[in-house]
Amino acid sequence: MSVAAGLLVTACGGAAATNNTTNAGGVTNVVNAQQAEVTAEELRITLERQLGQHALLAIEAMRAGVAGQEHFDAAAGALGKNTDDLTESIRLVYGDEGAEKFNELWTNHIGFFVDYTVGLAEGDKDKQQKAKKRLDQYRQDFGAFLEGATEGELPQNAVADLLQAHVDQLIGQVEAYNDEDYEKAASTTREAYAHMFATAKGLANAIVSTQDGFEGSVEGQAVDLRSSLGQLLGEHAQVAMQAMRAGVSGQDDFEAIAGALNENTKDLTAAISSVFGEEGGQAFMKMWADHIDFFVQYTVGLAEGDQQKQDDALKRLEQYQQDFSNFLDTASDGSIPADVVAKGLQAHVDQLTSQVKQFNDGDFEGAFSSADEAYNHMYDTAKALSAGIVAFMGGEMPSGGVETGAGGTAK
């Protein structure tokens, strides 16, 4: 079960007693007795995962749209499912009224991005300007919605500023893509995705500080680690899938996407090096790079209709699962068990190969459904990995305080 599913089942299951209050913003806050089982950490991670996915899917849809690619409908459908998921998360906190208002505003802003994309595709400057104006109004409206919902914890202007960055990033990447500046489009995509994590953290903090029932804290070293790993692993899955799709269909942006994948690999390696040292980080990077190359080999086999090449790549990925699982198990002194890692990797391999095969077969809806599973799966992986790292680090960190004074200035 995904984190979100767990969160929602925990929060929404059963007939819980509710205590409704209406705040100045007109949004009813639903304090659900069962909310007590939802931790602040899960709220933050869920919002990060869903908002991060929103940015990535919106970008995919805008690019498919401006380039007239066949998978546009499927990308837009996946974006719609993400909106539904986000709406359910908002419902958990603010009830039906808040969820409906959120859904309306959110759906509208996606529509404005689509308007802009149409204007860009048609070379219609007036349409682009109108879409930007509507996005400006949306920033104010959504800012007012959140200010009311969070009882002023998130001021309207601050939200509007955060949204300005989101708007600039999404418009910037689709313009770059339309201009065939694929490198800029890819790097802006990384920024847009990362931006959603800061947004989600701020939103989670505001919700937890104004609503009862969330156990624990939004911030802390362990949750920060889980969040960072979720961000990097989620990005890995999404960008790897984009690269495989671009690869199998021979698109010109493959190299730029693969470049973004390399940047993600560097960031992940650095994070792993900070746990297992430089040598451990290098060993990780070699294996990680291998598994990406095996996915690319599978993609090439698929594009060429070469079954043998696909089978060879799958065999290598099988060997990688064993090697990588054993590496993490050994490096962490058993805190990250090999059997758990291997099981997770099998799902990752199945999801990534399925989505590119479905994409190649023209089953775009199936491809985006598999991609959704693959993206969300990475957040479960991040949860397990960060827990294993925290357990492992218990025996590795320096002990106690530091003796850095001799008392010469003490009174």
Site for other proteins in 1-30 (CB under 8 A): none
Please identify which residue in 42, 49, 50, 72 interacts with other proteins, judged by CB under 8 A: 72
Asked whether position 397 contacts other proteins by CB under 8 A, the answer is yes
Counting every residue written for the chain, the total comes to 411
Question: Which residue, among 259, 238, 228, 243, has the nearest Cα to 389 in the 3D structure?
Answer: 228
Q: Count interface residues toward other proteins (CB under 8 A).
A: 87
Residue nearer to other proteins on the CB measure, 31 or 314 = 314
Choose the binding region for other proteins from 154-162, 220-228, 346-354, 370-378 (rule: CB under 8 A).
220-228
CB of 39 to other proteins, least distance (A): 17
Could you give the CA distance from residue 377 to residue 236 in angstroms, rounded to a whole number? 12
Do the beta carbons of residue 41 and residue 223 sit within 8 Å?
yes
Could you give the CA distance from residue 353 to residue 350 in angstroms, rounded to a whole number? 5
Choose the binding region for other proteins from 38-46, 49-57, 107-115, 156-164 (rule: CB under 8 A).
107-115
Question: Which residue, among 207, 352, 182, has the nearest Cα to 259 in the 3D structure?
Answer: 182
Asked whether position 387 contacts other proteins by CB under 8 A, the answer is no
Do the beta carbons of residue 18 and residue 32 sit within 8 Å?
yes
Asked whether position 333 contacts other proteins by CB under 8 A, the answer is no
Return the residues of window 260-289 that contact other proteins according to CB under 8 A.
261-262, 265-267, 269-271, 273-275, 281-282, 285-286, 288-289
Segment (H or E) for 30: strand 28-32
Choose the binding region for other proteins from 89-97, 111-119, 162-170, 344-352 (rule: CB under 8 A).
111-119
Please identify which residue in 16, 144, 300, 347 interacts with other proteins, judged by CB under 8 A: 300
Asked whether position 320 contacts other proteins by CB under 8 A, the answer is no
Could you give the CA distance from residue 395 to residue 399 in angstroms, rounded to a whole number? 9
Could you give the CA distance from residue 76 to residue 114 in angstroms, rounded to a whole number? 10
Q: 153 exposed, middle or buried (CB, 10 Å; 0-12, 13-18, 19+)?
A: middle
Residue nearer to other proteins on the CB measure, 80 or 213 = 80
Return the residues of window 231-260 that contact other proteins according to CB under 8 A.
231-232, 246-252, 254-255, 258
Whose tokens are 């505001």? That residue is 206
Please identify which residue in 38, 200, 207, 292 interacts with other proteins, judged by CB under 8 A: 292
Choose the binding region for other proteins from 91-99, 132-140, 295-303, 324-332 (rule: CB under 8 A).
295-303
Alpha helices in 68-155 (DSSP H): 72-122, 125-149
Q: Enumerate the β-bridge partners of residue 21.
A: 29
- Could you tell me the sign of the dihedral formed by the alpha carbons of 207, 156, 79, 258, in that order? negative
Could you give the CA distance from residue 105 to residue 90 in angstroms, rounded to a whole number? 13
Q: Find the radius of gyration of the CA atoms of the chain.
A: 23
CB of 8 to other proteins, least distance (A): 24
CB of 177 to other proteins, least distance (A): 12
Asked whether position 389 contacts other proteins by CB under 8 A, the answer is yes
Residue nearer to other proteins on the CB measure, 251 or 321 = 251
Choose the binding region for other proteins from 35-43, 142-150, 156-164, 293-301 (rule: CB under 8 A).
293-301
In the chain, count of helices (H) and strands (E)? 11, 2
CB of 269 to other proteins, least distance (A): 5
Segment (H or E) for 217: none
Q: How many CA atoms lie within 13 A of 139 on its CB side?
A: 19
Choose the binding region for other proteins from 64-72, 151-159, 321-329, 335-343 (rule: CB under 8 A).
64-72
Residue nearer to other proteins on the CB measure, 38 or 268 = 268
CB of 212 to other proteins, least distance (A): 26
Apex CA 312: angle with CA 308 and CA 314, to 5°? 115
Do the beta carbons of residue 233 and residue 268 sit within 8 Å?
yes
Choose the binding region for other proteins from 28-36, 46-54, 112-120, 336-344 (rule: CB under 8 A).
112-120
| 34: DSSP letter | G
Residue nearer to other proteins on the CB measure, 156 or 321 = 321
Choose the binding region for other proteins from 13-21, 51-59, 120-128, 160-168 (rule: CB under 8 A).
120-128
Do the beta carbons of residue 47 and residue 63 sit within 8 Å?
no
Residue nearer to other proteins on the CB measure, 21 or 399 = 399
Site string for other proteins, 334-373 (x = CB under 8 A): -------------------------xxxxxx---------
